[in-house]
Amino acid sequence: MNGPIRHIVLIGAGNMATVLGKVLRQAGLQISQVFNRTLSSAEILAKDLASPFTDQLDQLDQDADLYLLCVSDHAIEALLPQLHFLDGKLIAHTSGATPGSVFQGHFSRYGVFYPLQSLSKSQPIKLSEVPICVDANEETDLVKLEQLAQEFSQHVYRVDDHQRSLLHVAAVFVNNFSNHLYDLMDQWLGEEEIPFDLLRPLILGGAQKVQGLSPREAQTGPAVRADLNTIRRHLDILQEKRPELVELYKTLTESINPDLQQHKTT
Amino acid sequence: MNGPIRHIVLIGAGNMATVLGKVLRQAGLQISQVFNRTLSSAEILAKDLASPFTDQLDQLDQDADLYLLCVSDHAIEALLPQLHFLDGKLIAHTSGATPGSVFQGHFSRYGVFYPLQSLSKSQPIKLSEVPICVDANEETDLVKLEQLAQEFSQHVYRVDDHQRSLLHVAAVFVNNFSNHLYDLMDQWLGEEEIPFDLLRPLILGGAQKVQGLSPREAQTGPAVRADLNTIRRHLDILQEKRPELVELYKTLTESINPDLQQHKTT
């Protein structure tokens, strides 16, 4: 109970389990078992990790140092009552949206091990670049989870439930919402037969810029420089071509530069 | 008049002139003169380019193959009437927001040479990765501008006034508006003492993802998977912490997934 984490049981065999399982094994840890409701999925991942696997909860390895819940937010609560026999063992989930307190009343030792990235099996990412947010109800376990994350990432942060819930919202803004802006433009330019490739370097350049600068320092464009001529021309174009985007353009422009609210932009 | 462009006069000495001047010189072209209203600015850039410089329009080199207007959108129209003595020479501006037709009535040979990127002197970018949008009123000049761009970029596109005006709007969405979403979160997390560094890899990862995938394929998050529990939780958090962002969250969520309009998300 006091040594570092060496043996890990993965519960789940989806994106999260796959990405974490591979990087943990590469870091020299032993995935002592893969559990999944669908045995064939457990088997596929277990093969990659040279691990035993099972689809029966009552056959779970009871000697692991960590039980890592890599299941959907929805499945976490459903699973907990069935895992009572693990009480006393360290259990952690990998969800950005679920508080660690979900374990209260079920387990005496619990934590969170949350990689802040949009993970997918098909798009391999370097987990060493991904911030890992750790939390636990006991300081000794928090240190263990922290050390485990440091085995493969240089970006390990202690993040409590409150902070993680804010980060989860922020991730939607910077990732999902930005991507949607790209999508809106891809759909539009596609109809105008302008290749989206023209915008790809601009998108990448914008993300690279804020790796060193603050977004405030990196802000460019007609809104921040209060260039009303350009803003009016853009609104005219949108009104003609994409009227459903006029309000969004105005909202974001006035959010960038609140002084523009006084001017009627149309 | 029929050979390729070898000698270029830069009109302006700001970001655009600096970035373009350097890359053109590196590609073996001769910057035969730098003009700027402020002589000291002309001198600084001219030194880097081993070029003569002037602040007098009547001393402009009249034997160049191309006059490249690297001035603000606003200054283009003001300058044109003073450049009539160059009529017959090829002149091009570098603006995304200005139609090529601005030259009509002033010049018989004109075009556009527009690098689609957010340029700045302090943040050096690899212009070889930047799409260069070219246009001209004569096919022979269009070919010349195209060949000039190909000297340093593999991404050269023929883009007419109409297409460029749409691209300019699209660039605001994918670059300025995305960056503003980053900024909103930076301000918020800063107040909560959560380092913005936690989001930087996510931002970069999101931009990298759409280099290969379409944004539609890359879309993740609660909106696209109609995860109402998470959306409601996010709205509760925003209502408490950042009420001014509630409407923006709803607008973008419902834009991602129009089916969610039926459900009352709050």
Instruction: Kindly state the DSSP code that residue B175 receives in the 8-state scheme.
Output: I
Asked if residue A254 and residue A153 are part of one domain, the reply reads no
Check A203 against B207: CB less than 8 A apart.
yes
Partner residue opposite A204 with nearest CB, options B120, B207, B251: B207
Pick the last residue of a domain from A135, A159, A183.
A159
Asked if residue A187 and residue A139 are part of one domain, the reply reads no
Find the closest chain B residue to A225 by CA distance. B176
pLDDT in tens, A51-97: 999 999 999 999 999 999 999 988 999 999 999 999 999 999 999 98
pLDDT of residue A94: 96
Check B184 against A255: CB less than 8 A apart.
yes
Asked if residue A148 and residue A77 are part of one domain, the reply reads yes
Check A176 against B224: CB less than 8 A apart.
yes
Tokens in use for B188?
Answer: 């918020």
Is A83 part of any domain? yes
Check A166 against B189: CB less than 8 A apart.
yes
pLDDT in tens, B79-134: 999 999 999 999 999 999 899 999 999 999 999 999 998 766 566 667 888 999 99
Find the closest chain A residue to B228 by CA distance. A74
Q: Length of chain B in residues, anyone?
A: 266
Q: Length of chain A in residues, anyone?
A: 266
Find the closest chain A residue to B131 by CA distance. A198
Pick the last residue of a domain from B115, B143, B159.
B159
pLDDT in tens, A187-238: 999 999 999 999 999 999 999 999 999 999 999 999 999 999 999 999 999 9
Is B2 part of any domain? no
Tokens in use for B60?
Answer: 């402009």
Check A205 against B125: CB less than 8 A apart.
yes
Q: Which residues of A touch B255 (CB under 8 A)?
A: 180, 184, 248
Check B118 against A206: CB less than 8 A apart.
yes
Structural domain of A52: 7-159
Partner residue opposite B185 with nearest CB, options A170, A199, A205: A170
Q: Looking at the complex, report in whole angstroms how far the Cα of residue B114 sits from the nearest Cα belonging to chain A.
A: 12
CATH code assigned at A66: 3.40.50.720
Rounded to whole angstroms, how far apart are CA atoms A61 and B99? 69
pLDDT of residue A125: 67
Instruction: Kindly state the DSSP code that residue B146 receives in the 8-state scheme.
Output: H
Rounded to whole angstroms, how far apart are CA atoms A22 and B6? 54
Q: Judge contact between A93 and A76, C-beta under 8 A.
A: yes
Check B204 against A207: CB less than 8 A apart.
yes
Asked if residue B138 and residue B187 are part of one domain, the reply reads no
Asked if residue B236 and residue B222 are part of one domain, the reply reads yes
- Helix, strand or coil for residue B254? helix
Strand arrangement of the beta sheet that strand B7-11 belongs to: B53-54, B30-35, B7-11, B66-69, B91-93, B110-115, B132-136, B156-158
- Helix, strand or coil for residue B72? coil
Rounded to whole angstroms, how far apart are CA atoms B107 and B105? 6
pLDDT of residue A13: 96
pLDDT of residue A73: 85
CATH code assigned at A211: 1.10.1040.20
Three-state SS string over chain A comes to CCCCCCEEEEECCCHHHHHHHHHHHHCCCEEEEEECCCHHHHHHHHHHHCCCEECCHHHCCCCCCEEEECCCHHHHHHHHHHHHHHECECEEECCCCCCHHHHCCCCCCEEEEEECCCCCCCCCCCHHHCCEEEEECCHHHHHHHHHHHHCCCCCEEECCHHHHHHHHHHHHHHHHHHHHHHHHHHHHHHHCCCCHHHCHHHHHHHHHHHHHCCHHHHCCCCCCCCCHHHHHHHHHHHHHHCHHHHHHHHHHHHHHCHHHHCCCCC
Q: How many other CB atoms are found less than 10 A from the CB of residue B212?
A: 10
What is the domain count for chain B? 2
Q: How many other CB atoms are found less than 10 A from the CB of residue B91?
A: 24
Tell which of A72, A174, A230, A238 to mutate to test the B interface (max B CBs under 10 Å): A174
Q: Judge contact between B20 and B10, C-beta under 8 A.
A: yes
Instruction: Kindly state the DSSP code that residue B70 receives in the 8-state scheme.
Output: -
- Distance between alpha carbon B50 and the CA centroid of its chain, in Å? 26
Pick the last residue of a domain from A144, A159, A174.
A159
Check B204 against A208: CB less than 8 A apart.
yes
Average confidence (pLDDT) over B22-43? 96
Find the closest chain A residue to B183 by CA distance. A215
Check A214 against B171: CB less than 8 A apart.
no
Check B176 against A203: CB less than 8 A apart.
no
Residues with Cβ < 8 Å from B263, sequence gap 6 or more? B228
pLDDT in tens, A144-193: 999 999 999 999 999 999 999 999 999 999 999 999 999 999 999 999 99
Number of residue pairs across A and B with CB atoms under 8 Å? 287
Is A64 part of any domain? yes
Q: Looking at the complex, report in whole angstroms how far the Cα of residue B1 sits from the nearest Cα belonging to chain A.
A: 30
Q: Which residues of B touch A233 (CB under 8 A)?
A: 97, 165
Check B172 against A221: CB less than 8 A apart.
yes
Rounded to whole angstroms, how far apart are CA atoms B58 and B55? 9
Mean pLDDT, chain A, integer:
93
Interface predicted TM-score (ipTM): 0.89
Check B174 against A180: CB less than 8 A apart.
no
What is the phi/psi pair of residue A55, to 5°?
Answer: -115, 10
Asked if residue B127 and residue B16 are part of one domain, the reply reads yes
Beta strands in chain B (DSSP E): 7-11, 30-35, 53-54, 66-69, 91-93, 110-115, 132-136, 156-158
Q: Judge contact between B125 and B100, C-beta under 8 A.
A: no
pLDDT of residue A260: 92
Asked if residue B123 and residue B212 are part of one domain, the reply reads no
Q: Which residues of B touch A188 (CB under 8 A)?
A: 166, 170
Q: Which residues of B touch A168 (CB under 8 A)?
A: 230, 234
Instruction: Kindly state the DSSP code that residue B193 receives in the 8-state scheme.
Output: T
Statement: residue A121 has pLDDT above 60: no
Average confidence (pLDDT) over B223-248? 96
Asked if residue B178 and residue B150 are part of one domain, the reply reads no
pLDDT of residue A261: 86
- Phi/psi-derived region of residue B50, left when phi > 0, alpha when psi is between -120 and 50, beta in every other case: left
Tokens in use for B119?
Answer: 């340029």
The residues facing A5 across adjacent strands are: none
Statement: residue A137 has pLDDT above 60: yes
Average confidence (pLDDT) over B163-172? 96
Q: Which residues of B touch A208 (CB under 8 A)?
A: 204, 207
pLDDT of residue A122: 61
Q: How many other CB atoms are found less than 10 A from the CB of residue B208?
A: 17
pLDDT of residue B226: 94
- Helix, strand or coil for residue B110? strand
- Give the CA distances from residue B222 to residues A78, A140, B22, B233, B256, in Å, rounded to whole numbers and listed in that order: 20, 34, 46, 11, 10
Average confidence (pLDDT) over B168-172? 97
Rounded to whole angstroms, how far apart are CA atoms A256 and B247? 15
pLDDT in tens, B185-227: 999 999 999 999 999 999 999 999 999 999 999 999 999 999 9
Rounded to whole angstroms, how far apart are CA atoms A41 and A138? 33
Query: Percent of chain A at pLDDT above 70?
Result: 95
